[in-house]
Structure 1
Amino acid sequence: METAMVLPSLLLVLSVLLGGVTVAATQLACADAARVGARALARGETDHRARELALSASPDTADVRLVREAGTARVTVRAELRIGPAIGPPVEVVGNAAVPLEPGV
């Protein structure tokens, strides 16, 4: 009887923990994708190629923003994900990276 009363609470805690792990993994993927894009941009790759490289390393729903300013390549990767089928609004995850431009770029 006690198990039947506690089981829904345990399932809720498990789903929250799994959602947290998913958000953390997505944030790490966005940060890695931003680093890949920023390194490519700093090496002198075209914006199109740097965006392709960042998108290839990012989650499926990601949006990539590239900026070259003051000797620095900055890349921001944003992704939205839903935790569960219909629980609340989507969570936005952001990864940023900034790398100094290579000399001569």
Structure 2
Amino acid sequence: MRPSESAGRSERVGPRGRHRNPFRCRCRARGDSGYVTAETAVVIPVLVALAALLVWGLMAGAAQVRCVDAARAGAREAARSGETAAAVQAARAAAPGGAEVSVERSGGMVRVRVTVPLPRFPVPLGSEADALDEAALESGASGPGTPEGGAGP
């Protein structure tokens, strides 16, 4: 066609000078590339939150193990020395920061509880350990009715 013949028609020319087909699908040309950006904008915060949750879980597990170790150390020290202050000091040395330590004595048993308060972890963490109070057993063994007490058979 000559330019003089196409005076009544509008000619569609593509970017390279070729004629474009007006019936061709232009779906790809309209912006599918934006989907990748939108998906990335959603996925990255989810991955960051998942990583933070995993790190928090590891920290909570480590704090629970430290609570168990602290309760055992406190019960062991209370059974050996018989002093509550020494047991609390031994438990606090092994416990995670901010942990609460309590020592209870009943009969010949010592119970040490170590707990981590809720603001640090949203779930309660803690442990308790029991031990025989050796000091109470030794003082009870040397009482009346035993050979060391002098009233034995």
| TM-score, structure 1 normalization | 0.83
The one-letter code of the counterpart of 1:55 is: R
Displaced runs of 4 or more, over 4 A: none
Secondary structure of the residue that 1:6 maps to in structure 2?
helix
Higher alpha-carbon Rg: 2
Task: Give the RMSD, CA atoms, in angstroms.
Answer: 1.7
Which of 87, 90, 96 aligns to 1:50? It is 87
Paired positions, count: 99
Aligned partners of 1:20 and 1:70: how far apart in 2?
38
Measure how far apart 1:39 and its partner are: 0.5
The one-letter code of the counterpart of 1:35 is: R
The one-letter code of the counterpart of 1:98 is: D
Which of 22, 33, 36 aligns to 2:70? It is 33
Which residue of 2 is the match for residue 98 of structure 1? 130
Matches within 5 A, 1:62-73: 62-73=99-110
Which residues of structure 1 form unaligned runs of 5+?
84-89
Secondary structure of the residue that 1:53 maps to in structure 2?
helix
Higher strand proportion, which one? 1
Higher helix proportion, which one? 1
Which of 69, 74, 82 aligns to 2:120? It is 82
Measure how far apart 1:9 and its partner are: 1.2
- Deviations, residues 27-56 of structure 1 (Å, cap 9, x unaligned): 111111010000011113311111111111
Aligned partners of 2:100 and 2:51: how far apart in 1?
30
Identity, % of aligned positions: 36
Measure how far apart 1:92 and its partner are: 2.6
Higher RCO structure (Cα 8 Å, ≥6 apart): 1
| TM-score, structure 2 normalization | 0.59
Q: Is the 8 A contact 2:112 2:128 kept in 1?
A: yes
Q: Is the 8 A contact 2:82 2:133 kept in 1?
A: no
